[in-house]
Copies of this chain bind each other. A is one copy, B any other.
């Protein structure tokens, strides 16, 4: 492998100190001159007609500067799939009726938060309560209360059908059916949603907000406000975590903008933690039924998966989440016959949408749990059955995903080896067990708009600083560092020489944002192209001076020199000056749109990603049979990262995913009763604690993807998927109970142990 100076190194994050010391300022920290504070009035009912809203008293309150209701809005809806009109179902502020407890109906801006809260209390709303439905299966019944104007409250149905599953089951030696349930979860980013909007007298909006994509944020906010996009400028402050929960414009963004317009002042709206938990976005709870047919040697033949995703009051990203929950099913293991039926169903509950794993965590928990059950049925080792079925480089899945590099088999082998699988599986004492599960994931997804592009500009300053101007949004994953490393490597300078500008739609070029593990791959390619372009310009400027051909030049150690003759060169700064004073200030341009396709709207197939990321995770657990408590002893995660631009950052992503998965597997659940969230605080909503983090061993498998920057792939989101079933499988290995419903609480384990009548060993 070529020797690199900056990429492939575990360099500290460029924003590390600022974030650790509190120097980094988030939206909530920002103040604008004359700024007002906004608050949102939310529905106390899960389902009700709004008969009348009287804001007159609130408007007369001394410190109040603006009050808005649905009447003040343009009546535009938000939604992700204009091709599916039923999904364009969410207004900026509810007008005719409210559909969940927390639905936004009105908002006020006042001189401070206290005054704004007082004003909310003075708004009188007359409701007519409507019958509500909270269970997705009940919601699909013909007599269920109708939440939107769709049949059976089914927002959208996805059908993927490849091969012939009926025939496949007939040809199978063994068929089993299982049903799995996953819970509703809250993203719980450290930073709750926040927004500061300022509309000037020309009607132009500037907004600082918690977001994962300035591109979609601008597009959707402009639509909701009925403004041309050019009248909306979106700036990214520091973002304190996203996990899919900051991808969408929410009422707070919309209300901040509208209140600013009405008051003529900047308006800040902050979600309280409670509001954020109830009224931002959540992860879809799901019911997943899996029927799988295999040959007796363990080779998979056919699979049918039926999944019901409960999206709550509005569609949000649900249709795409439901699609992805099925599309990835045949990415990990070869499955010639596969049928997926996915539903997203409305209920009168808070809204589910994108969340790390994007439908995949739900279905893969089911599938990977069932694989272990099948292996046991057939007397096969879980590692063995997986290795028999894994996809290989060059495979094209039934969904027409074209697999190029694929380190899955190596990941399974290395994770098994490093964890001591052979010595441990089925042999651990003291209620300890070991389990494995795998993952396959997109690296970007051409699914939201017909392109999947990112661009970047690289400006060279005469003081030797290089500015990367790009729209890629670092929401905490460290991509600003990774992209800066790519630019530094390409230009032969140090990481500290690169400054990454905060994305600002007025300045930065197109970038769809942070989702689907796309930033390193897509924005990274764009940044590299821009740096290459700048380097080319540098070389052109100095080739004459160095009496060399451009193709013989090399940039390294802050110098430009003739390859092989480092002494014959000039400094990077001198090269920049040479170009600048010959009339060419250096600015590189880069762009990348991967060679992928939109899924076919009818059949659902299409190569949505230019490469795919694979991995395997081994969990070791100890179960306390008295209390039902599970302790994770160690996690071993092997992930095909293509090439690790920053190994420590990759490891950080894996560790983060494991922390996230602990919550998903063992602790977290948004508990709702009659549409009311019963645990909307961090005292009651239980996320994993630092003391519960196990030892994590990360194995970075490098397959050097030919399409990726320096061979890198996106890998983050993939790593959030396998720990969940791996832990469930390890629990089974430890105490012989199979829990099919998340989270795996002590109660469920105790109940299962009781039903089983004693432990396995």
The residues of A with any CB-CB pair to B shorter than 8 Å are 17-18, 21, 23, 25, 29-33, 200-202, 228-230, 451, 453, 455, 457, 459, 461-465, 467, 469, 497, 499, 501, 505-507, 509-510, 580-581, 583-585, 587, 589, 591-593
Contact = CB atoms under 8 A, between A and B. Distances in A.
Given A230-B461, A580-B453, A202 B17 contact: yes
A587 B585 contact: no
Contacts of A469: 507
B33 A33 contact: no
Given A230-B464, A230-B497, A467-B506, 12 more contacts: A17-B201, A18-B200, A18-B202, A30-B33, A229-B465, A453-B581, A455-B580, A461-B505, A462-B510, A509-B585, A584-B591, A585-B589
A533 to B, nearest CB: 10
A506 B465 contact: yes
Contacts of A497: 230
Contacts of A201: 17-18, 21, 23
Contact of A580 (B464, B499, B591): B591
**CB-CB nearest 8 A-B residue pairs:** A229-B463, A455-B585, A230-B465, A29-B33, A509-B585, A31-B31, A230-B463, A583-B591
Give how many copies assemble into the complex. Answer: 2
Nearest to A456: B585
A214 to B, nearest CB: 12
Contact of A510 (B30, B33, B585, B592): B585
Nearest to A462: B510
B510 A506 contact: no
Contacts of A584: 589, 591
A33 B30 CA distance: 6
Nearest to A464: B230
10 contacts: A229-B465, A230-B464, A230-B465, A455-B580, A457-B459, A459-B509, A461-B505, A510-B585, A583-B591, A583-B593
A467 to B, nearest CB: 6
Nearest to A499: B506
Nearest to A229: B463
Contacts of A591: 580, 583-585
Contacts of A17: 200-202
A591 B593 CA distance: 30
A21 B34 CA distance: 14
A701 to B, nearest CB: 31
Contacts of A23: 200-201
Nearest to A585: B455
Given A31-B31, A31-B33, A589-B587, A507 B467 contact: yes
Contacts of A589: 584-585, 587
A244 B281 CA distance: 54
Nearest to A584: B591
A740 B469 CA distance: 57
A217 B25 CA distance: 25
Contacts of A228: 463
Nearest to A35: B31
Contacts of A459: 457, 507, 509
A21 B469 CA distance: 32
Nearest to A583: B591
A200 B585 CA distance: 29
A593 B229 CA distance: 36
A453 B579 CA distance: 13
A216 to B, nearest CB: 13
B510 A501 contact: no
Nearest to A508: B459
Contacts of A453: 580-581
A614 B507 CA distance: 38
A33 B584 CA distance: 39
Contacts of A509: 459, 585, 587
Contact of A506 (B32, B229, B501, B505): B501
Nearest to A201: B17
A47 B657 CA distance: 67
Nearest to A577: B451
A624 to B, nearest CB: 44
A31 B31 CA distance: 6
Nearest to A580: B510
Q: Interface centre among A451, A463, A467, A592, by most B CB within 10 Å?
A: A463
Contacts of A583: 591-593
A509 B499 CA distance: 14
A18 B33 CA distance: 14
Contacts of A506: 465, 467, 499, 501
A484 to B, nearest CB: 13
A480 B311 CA distance: 49
A587 B29 contact: no
Contacts of A30: 33
Nearest to A228: B463
